[in-house]
Amino acid sequence: MNTQTTRLANDNYQPLSPYKFLHHPDRLAQFWEHCYDVTPVTAHLAPTLYCNQRCYFCTYGQYKEHGKNSMWQMDIRDLKDCLDQLAENGIKGVIFTGGGEPTIYPHLVEAMAHARSLGLDIALNTNGYRCSDALLDGILLCQPRYIRVSFNNGRALTQRLVTGRDNFQQVLDHIARMAERKASLSPATDLSVGYVVNTVNVHEMLDFLRHILGIEASVRRKTGVANPIYSVQFRPVSNFEHSKYVADEERLARLAAYLGEQYGQAYRDELEGFLFQGQQASVATMQLALETIQTQLVPALAQDGASKIKIVYPERKYTDLIARAEKPYPLCLSCPWYLFIWPDGNLYSCVEWAGNPQFAIGNILRERLADVLAGPARREMADKINQGYLHHKCVAVCAHHEMNILLNRLYADGREKADGNLGDVTVRHENFL
Ligand code: SF4
Ligand code: SF4
């Protein structure tokens, strides 16, 4: 490892580790044959676009605000066929995710059970708002590798203004119940809480951590399980042209006014710039986030003494956002390693551009996945992205930023020099890229 890549191997990555792809030697062999002919390891599957929240920064918010005519929910027979094809083609992990909120999908448990029956590893991203006993137990009995609850505020007021739902305590209670139930039904499931750091919540990170530590302590007392919550994950927000919910003007005006009163005009301007001018989170916000993680959250966890929660954060993303660095790689090489499946069956090779039909490489409900993977569309899309989008329209730091750094380094060094040696890098959830 050189110094550029050493930091990517730090313990603070773990489930977000960009080294996961090295755990798939069969895919690496394909990569060396042709870097765009890798059989995807992971499918991000959005069964529905419906959601019970309206977060202002939602990655796919504009598609949902304006996409009234597209197919919002996948039929369960189509979804099962889709899972069959994923298994037949050697995909290893399926993340049930948004799109919308997967727990809104009425057949979620049936779909997860079907995936497991096919030998697929599964995981769930949820906002934690919908969590009946039957739903939760059904999900846990499918033994997902992880559940990540996306909960992005430290206070009830901002949760309401950001999501449009007055559900702060309810979601905290649900996280506690998930932790308790998983202790008996699926102890191997990693339960984590994700926090997308943005200009609204950057001052609430410690409040958030304290709430989660409180849940951990209480569940530990009740169940005797030492580590009922695996991690808290702090990822920086991104702003795509298709991101954001902006229709609820009154709520967003109250949110902006709140920020102005609490933290000053600069924060208010930043929110409005994000919402209405497509601006990214500011350098100051990202700097504050990284400093807060390293100088407040990590020490707070150490002080707790009993906590086993890990603080996970992609440090390189923060430092590159702070440096306002150009993308440090000439090619997007991560796309072939995963798929994103929209509820209408469209297949995408990028998580961020998913939902925009101009980026679809095929449709799993109308074509066989094997034909799409073997056909020309993937390479053509890779050319389109590398030539027209990578350095102009993709955000500077996307979800697979660090993976692209490593893959480009590997590609530049060549097969002979690449040793694929993981050393002491800690990687979790290797089937979920
Ligand atoms: S970010 Fe998640 S919870 Fe929020 S509106 Fe989007 S899909 Fe729903
Ligand atoms: S660089 Fe662009 S195309 Fe590649 S993964 Fe990131 S957002 Fe997607």
Q: What is the pLDDT of residue 10?
A: 79
Q: Give the CA radius of gyration of the chain.
A: 21
The finding on whether 350 has its CB within 6 A of some atom of ligand 2 is: yes
Cα(86)–Cα(270) distance, integer angstroms:
41
**Section 185-197 average pLDDT:** 98
Per-residue burial over 21-34, b if 16 or more Cβ lie within 10 Å, else e, is bbbbeebbebbeee
User: What residue owns the CA closest to ligand 2's atom 4?
Assistant: 332
Q: How confident is the model at residue 415 (pLDDT cuts 50, 70, 90)?
A: confident
pLDDT tens sequence across 48-65: 999 999 999 999 999 998
Query: Among 51, 59, 64, 149, which is best to mutate for testing ligand 1, by the most ligand atoms less than 8 A from CB?
Result: 51
Q: What is the pLDDT of residue 206?
A: 98
pLDDT tens sequence across 20-48: 999 999 999 999 999 999 999 999 999 99
Distance 343 CA to ligand 1 centre (A): 15
- Please report the DSSP string for 332-392 in residue order: --SGGGEEEE-TT-EEES-TTTTT-GGGEEEETTTS-HHHHHHSSHHHHHHHHIIIIITTT
Q: What is the pLDDT of residue 2?
A: 61
Q: What is the pLDDT of residue 115?
A: 98
Q: What is the pLDDT of residue 92?
A: 98
Distance 141 CA to ligand 2 centre (A): 34
Residue 235 pairs in a beta bridge with 196
Q: What is the pLDDT of residue 426?
A: 74
User: What percent of the residues of the chain are helix, what percent strand, and what percent coil, each to the nearest 5?
Assistant: 50, 10, 40
pLDDT tens sequence across 324-376: 988 999 999 999 999 999 999 999 999 999 999 999 999 999 999 999 999 99
Q: What is the pLDDT of residue 302?
A: 92
pLDDT tens sequence across 286-319: 999 999 999 999 999 999 989 999 999 999 999 9
Residues near 384 by beta carbon (within 8 Å), at least 6 away in sequence: none
Residues near 418 by beta carbon (within 8 Å), at least 6 away in sequence: 410
pLDDT tens sequence across 128-168: 999 999 999 999 999 999 999 999 999 999 999 999 999 99
User: What residue owns the CA closest to ligand 1's atom 1?
Assistant: 58
Does 6 have pLDDT greater than 70?
no
Q: What is the pLDDT of residue 37?
A: 94
Residue 255, H or E segment: helix 249-263
Distance 396 CA to ligand 2 centre (A): 9
pLDDT tens sequence across 83-139: 999 999 999 999 999 999 999 999 999 999 999 999 999 999 999 999 999 999 999
The finding on whether 104 has its CB within 6 A of some atom of ligand 1 is: no
